[in-house]
């Protein structure tokens, strides 16, 4: 029996975020965070920031952060909603107004990489701070041992005065959820994976530090995913190296009952997934279009469709 299937013990002691540590001038300055607010409860941190950058754009600059102890209407892609127990997750959204080293706004074509950059930062946090292995599942999930531990949602803010629109990147990480509290059986949490820590303040600070470092490198590279970052591999190479989707047979379900079945070969320059079908045709699958992406295996002869060996992720 693996960690995500173990019986529940007593409900964990869920500590509040350490607001003093998060508001530390040393922490904020070191990471270039312009503002960090903690709220007790809200519907959605992403929705709150999208409203804030519309109503008070000057008050929410680049790398302004909003985090909540409890989200009552958290959103994922395609308006999927869920709610986790209070103080059981890291729920955080970040305002991004990306400009390069000369202060010139990045091309909006590069924005599609920001959710993948966030996934990479979270994967590094889980590995280095929590001590658990993690991988990225295209387009916006982080997995541990094949189970979803986090989801990421990037949303475009409003255009204003001819300036490039801001982006709000939201991340939801399951931290102390018990097996009974998981939204689906194919999910997991930091606690269930027997991590080194379930301290949400520590995990949040670690994630923000890694995110801001990657983000600055990406911006300084003018938003070019193929350019080296901080003397190391490019964002493109770093993401592909830890993406569990690549090299697998997948089925991409698209609007209008369309689907593409084939080999997930690589990411293109815009972070879209390239899938090669049985006729060797290459298809571009974009994050904005795909409804579901699941591993696929040919049905066993004589099996009932939908009851074969196919399995999927949350």
Written as one string, the DSSP assignment of 227-279 is SEETTEEEHHHHHHHTBTTTTSEEEEEEGGGEEEEEEEEEE-TTSPEEEE-TT
- Give the residue from 124, 121, 137, 144 showing the smallest Cα distance to 194: 144
What does the pLDDT average to over 197-206? 98
- Give the residue from 134, 133, 130 showing the smallest Cα distance to 118: 134
pLDDT band at 288 (very low <50, low <70, confident <90, very high): confident
Could you give the 3-state DSSP secondary structure of residue 56?
coil
pLDDT of residue 110: 95
Could you give the 3-state DSSP secondary structure of residue 298?
coil
Confidence check: pLDDT of 62 > 90? yes
- Give the residue from 214, 218, 219 showing the smallest Cα distance to 102: 219
What does the pLDDT average to over 216-220? 97
pLDDT band at 6 (very low <50, low <70, confident <90, very high): very low
What does the pLDDT average to over 227-236? 91
147-156: strand order across its sheet = 35-39, 64-68, 89-96, 167-174, 147-156, 141-144, 135-137
Could you give the 3-state DSSP secondary structure of residue 31?
helix
Residues in the chain: 314
Chain segment 255-267, per-residue pLDDT in tens:
988 999 999 999 9
Integer CA distances (angstroms), 122 to 1, 111, 128, 217, 307, in order: 26, 18, 10, 16, 34
Three-point CA angle 126, 28, 195, nearest 5°: 15
Chain segment 89-103, per-residue pLDDT in tens:
999 999 999 999 999
Measured torsion, CA atoms of residues 165, 167, 168, 172, in degrees rounded to the nearest 10: 160
pLDDT above 90 covers what percent of the chain?
77
pTM summary value: 0.89
Parallel/antiparallel/unpaired status of strands 35-39 and 64-68 = parallel
pLDDT of residue 312: 26
User: What is the rounded CA–CA span in Å between residue 251 and residue 298?
Assistant: 11
What does the pLDDT average to over 217-226? 96
Tell which wins on pLDDT, 82 or 280.
Answer: 280
Least trusted range by pLDDT, from 188-192, 298-302, 304-308: 304-308
pLDDT band at 48 (very low <50, low <70, confident <90, very high): very high
Confidence check: pLDDT of 40 > 70? yes
What does the pLDDT average to over 73-81? 55
Q: Which two three-digit tokens encode residue 146?
A: 């094949």
Contact between 155 and 170 under an 8 Å Cβ cutoff? The reply is: yes
Confidence check: pLDDT of 230 > 50? yes
pLDDT of residue 10: 56
What does the pLDDT average to over 153-168? 86
Confidence check: pLDDT of 194 > 80? yes
**Cis amide linkage into residue 139, ω under 30° from 0:** yes
């Amino acid at each position: 029996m693996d960690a995500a299937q173990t019986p529940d013990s007593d409900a964990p002691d869920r500590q509040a975020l350490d607001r003093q540590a998060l508001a530390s001038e040393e922490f904020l300055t070191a990471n270039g965070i312009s503002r960090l607010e903690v709220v007790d409860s809200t519907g959605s941190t992403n929705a709150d920031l999208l409203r804030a950058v519309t109503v008070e754009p000057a008050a929410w600059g680049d790398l302004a952060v909003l985090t909540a102890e409890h989200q009552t209407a958290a959103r994922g892609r395609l308006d999927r909603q869920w709610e986790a127990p209070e103080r059981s997750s890291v729920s955080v959204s970040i305002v991004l107004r990306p400009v390069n080293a000369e202060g010139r706004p990045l091309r909006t074509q590069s924005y599609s990489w920001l959710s993948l950059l966030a996934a990479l930062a979270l994967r590094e946090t889980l590995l280095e701070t929590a001590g658990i292995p993690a991988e990225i599942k295209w387009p916006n999930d982080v997995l541990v041992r094949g189970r979803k531990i986090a989801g990421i949602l990037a949303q475009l803010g409003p255009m204003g005065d001819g300036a490039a629109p801001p982006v709000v990147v939201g991340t939801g990480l399951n931290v102390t959820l018990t097996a009974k509290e998981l939204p689906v059986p194919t999910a997991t949490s930091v606690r269930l994976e027997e991590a080194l820590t379930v301290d949400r303040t520590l995990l949040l600070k670690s994630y923000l530090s890694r995110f801001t470092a990657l983000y600055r490198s990406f911006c300084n590279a003018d938003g070019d995913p193929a350019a080296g970052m901080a003397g190391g591999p490019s964002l493109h190479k770093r993401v592909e190296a830890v993406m569990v989707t690549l090299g697998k047979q997948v089925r991409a379900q698209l609007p209008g009952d369309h689907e593409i079945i084939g080999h997930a070969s690589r990411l293109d320059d815009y972070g879209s997934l390239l899938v090669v079908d049985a006729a060797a045709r290459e298809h571009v699958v974009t994050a904005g279009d795909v409804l579901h992406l699941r591993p696929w295996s040919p049905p066993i002869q004589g099996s009932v469709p939908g009851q074969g060996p196919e399995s999927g992720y949350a």
